[in-house]
Amino acid sequence: MAVENDKSRLDDAARAGWLYFIAGHTQDEIARMLQVSRASAQRLVSLCLAERLITFRLEHPIAACMELASRLKERFNLVHCEVVPADPAAPQATAGIAERCANLLDATLRSETPVIVALGTGRAVRAAVERVTPIDRPNHQIVSLVGNISADGSASFYDTVG
């Protein structure tokens, strides 16, 4: 009898999952349709996911970027990692990378909590820094990841800290 109850529960979970993820119904609507409480409908939708009765696949270039970012984060023990897709019409362009990096840098620098930001060099980093809105944050430090900045503070055109 327990096996039959489990099968029935999985059948209900599959119905709830289909109604929620495919048909787009709310949990309240699912509860009415399946004649259960809203809490039970929520548990059935969760069970559907937990038992992998329903799976999703993102069909977009960003999916590959997110997967690569996840692998890089795990492999190199990174706190944050994002991979940005390239423009197929201009694969060498840095605009996408620069824009995303600028957003992250801007959010970091707007924080009141003191941070140390380390920057490297190159066209993409320089393009990102140029997109950041100027802000006065004396509690933050910006340091260079490259060792070719002169003692007097001079740097090449692409050394963004300079």
Domain ranges of the chain: 2-50, 87-144
Mean pLDDT of 91-106: 83
Digit-coded pLDDT (tens) for 57-79: 888 888 889 999 999 999 999 88
Confidence of residue 147 (pLDDT cuts 50, 70, 90): low
In the chain, what percentage of residues exceed pLDDT 70?
86
Is domain 2-50 given the CATH code 1.10.10 in the classification? yes
Q: Does pLDDT of 130 surpass 90?
A: no
Residue 114 has pLDDT above 90, yes or no: yes
7: left (phi over 0), alpha (psi -120 to 50) or beta: alpha
* H/E segment holding residue 119: strand 116-119
- DSSP annotation of 136 reads -
Cα–Cα distance list, 93 to 29, 61, 86, 97, 133 (Å): 48, 17, 7, 9, 22
Task: Give the pLDDT mean for 125-145.
Answer: 85
